[in-house]
Amino acid sequence: MKRLIQHFTYMFLAAMLLVSGACNKDILNKKPLNDYRDEDVWKDPALVVAYVNNLYLQKRHGFTEVMLSSVSDESRFIHNYGTQTAVTEALSADDLGAFNDRYGEWQKYYRAIRNCNIFFEMVGQAPFTDEALRQRLIGEVHYLRAYFYHTLVRFWGGVPVVKKPFSLENRDEMMIPRGSFEECVNFIVEDCDKAAGILPPKHEQPGRATKYAAMALKSRMLLFAASPLFSQQNITAAEAYRGYVNSSDAQKAERYQKAYDAAKAIIDEHVFSLYKPTSNATDNYTRVFLDKDNSEIIFARYFNRQFQGTSHDLYNGPNGYHNWGGNVPLENFVSGYQMADGTPFSWANATHAANPYANRDPRFYATILYNGAKWKKRPSDAIALDPVGEIQTARFEKKNAQGAITVQAGLDTRSSAIENWNGTYTGYYIRKFMDITLDAQFFRGDQAWPWYRYSEILLNAAEALIELNRHDEARVYINEIRTRGGMPAFANTVAGDALREGLRYERRYELAFEDHRYYDARRWMIAETVFSGPANAIDIFGKLNPDNTYTWTYKVVNSGQDRVFSNKHYLLPIMAAEIRRNDLIKQNPGYN
């Protein structure tokens, strides 16, 4: 039987070895992996390990040029790259925009799933002398297959469930319909359970799946499955790929109970905790994403700075530092940060509007770069223009050498005197994940991308408890996160819809820019409201006073991008090419 294995190069293997810290001099004497015949892989345990290593590389991490946040209400990408299509009615089965090859990656993940299935069929033939290694790899591939499926399901709903590698000689066996949503969820959970039952709690090589990674994925999937988007009562048996066919109150409660149990299983292990290395809430939140292997990280993607480091700082840093701007936070998002006392921020409040960046949620200062924020020294060719190192996204008056008043654009605007092609459209830049010690123009970073962290698990548990009407228990978990973030705890009187909104606030801002918001707004079915309308910016002007101080005015404006999220967008369209290849696959509603 012929097999089509997605080949992987020697460079990819070298990358994984560097990232994991492994050292194997003999591997340098092997011929490139894509020179091996398929059957050779299963004759050499080292090649089987490399095969699994390549599967890890198929997981999309968040340090990408176009972040998933830019198709949500968190940010806007300053170029296009398909994001304009992805946030409007232009999204169609013929053109998924950024979802085609940057986020959804249907074909890529099905290739990876096929390679997982080939692994399961062939790994028993490999001559391992270390049986524990074989079993560990089996556990890792169960986790990886579950991850690939969970990504597909979160975008498209029920998808074809492929459990074995197909023969190229028999195309008919490849023609299978979409599985029901419930079938997909059950299969993902089954793979997670198998992985958790095999994998160790910790690896010597960081970046390999663990027992807790599988448990965290299960928790995420079960909460997603229990959510309103997939528990509607208008689902027919023929459209079971859209959600559960039967969604009675009792069955909804059963699903939330499973989601809670999955999160509680991790909490009860007492292995992880919220990271609080200092007494400063902003510093604590900042360091969650910079300090390696801290108590909050359940599973992460690691990077080697010299070989395959991250470009997050370069992609998203201010153009006044010779960075590329990239995914810039929206005013829609920034306005939502509460005041430090837990009350809402409002532009209608004269005190707030006069000084909008004062006394906000401490996590704001660890997440957003705003006009006037203290940052770091400018590059050598720009430091004379700004010796202090302060973000400048405003226009302001200034006296020239002759004493005349002129209007000057800030160094981090699109009219910057340093670079004027890649500045923000919104008046903001991302601060989160940034390594302030890094010269991002020339060097890559080594921040780890957090696949799962403990705060997500606490929020998963709290959300399930709220939907189970166990508000007192839920409040405890939410308050752990709020107080670590420097925010006041919710009082015991906060319950019902108010507590649900509090939970949603915490997910939005605690998990900002971590690839959660796009999924959360859809599964809560609020995306038609929060993802539609103008992608707003802040226009800031500084009036020079006689005493050389400034009076600042702030105006919320459209950044130049209007967005439309329709009911049909709660599920992505399946690509027309996939349906042409397999007419048993039915399109999601609204795209025919």
Q: Which domains does the chain have, with CATH numbers?
A: 10-243 (1.25.40.390), 303-446+532-592 (no CATH)
Identify the DSSP state of 357: T
Reported pTM: 0.93
State the alpha helices, DSSP H only, in 268-347: 281-288, 305-308, 312-316, 331-334
Non-local CB neighbours of 381 within 8 Å, separated by 6+ positions = 418
Distances (CA, A) of 540 to 322, 354, 408, 411: 22, 11, 12, 13
**Looking at the predicted structure, is the pLDDT value of residue 154 above 90?**
yes
What pLDDT is attached to residue 470?
A: 98
Q: Map 72-114 to HEC letters.
A: CCCEEECCCCCHHHHCCCCCCCCCCCHHHHHHCCHHHHHHHHH
Q: Are strands 297-301 and 449-453 parallel, antiparallel or unpaired?
A: antiparallel
What pLDDT is attached to residue 105?
A: 87
Q: pLDDT of 526-573, one tens digit each?
A: 999 999 999 999 999 999 999 999 999 999 999 999 999 999 999 999
Q: pLDDT of 428-459, one tens digit each?
A: 999 999 999 999 888 999 999 999 999 999 99
Non-local CB neighbours of 84 within 8 Å, separated by 6+ positions = 90, 97, 561
What pLDDT is attached to residue 174?
A: 78
- Determine the residue type at 514: E
**Looking at the predicted structure, is the pLDDT value of residue 463 above 90?**
yes
Q: pLDDT of 181-224, one tens digit each?
A: 999 999 999 999 999 999 999 998 889 999 999 999 999 999 99
Within 10 A of 88 (CB to CB), how many other CB atoms are there?
A: 17
Non-local CB neighbours of 207 within 8 Å, separated by 6+ positions = 19, 20, 56, 300, 301, 302
| DSSP three-state, residue 419 | coil
C-beta separation of 315 from 102 below 8 A? no
What pLDDT is attached to residue 296?
A: 98
C-beta separation of 559 from 534 below 8 A? yes
Terminal-residue alpha carbon distance, the chain: 37
**Looking at the predicted structure, is the pLDDT value of residue 51 above 70?**
yes
Q: Give per-residue burial for 337-351: e unless 16+ CB within 10 Å, then b.
A: bbbbebeebeeeeee
C-beta separation of 574 from 156 below 8 A? yes
Residue with tokens 């029901």: 180
Q: Which two tokens stand for residue 346?
A: 């409002």
What pLDDT is attached to residue 584?
A: 95
Categorize the per-residue pLDDT at 16 as very low, low, confident or very high, splitting at 50, 70 and 90.
Answer: very low
Closest CA to 141 of 208, 45, 52, 38: 52
* Average pLDDT score, the chain: 92
What is the Cα–Cα distance from 173 to 334, expressed in whole angstroms?
50
What is the Cα–Cα distance from 391 to 375, expressed in whole angstroms?
7
Q: Are strands 550-563 and 297-301 parallel, antiparallel or unpaired?
A: unpaired
What is the Cα–Cα distance from 52 to 141, expressed in whole angstroms?
7
What is the Cα–Cα distance from 349 to 333, expressed in whole angstroms?
18
**Looking at the predicted structure, is the pLDDT value of residue 38 above 80?**
no
**Looking at the predicted structure, is the pLDDT value of residue 31 above 90?**
no
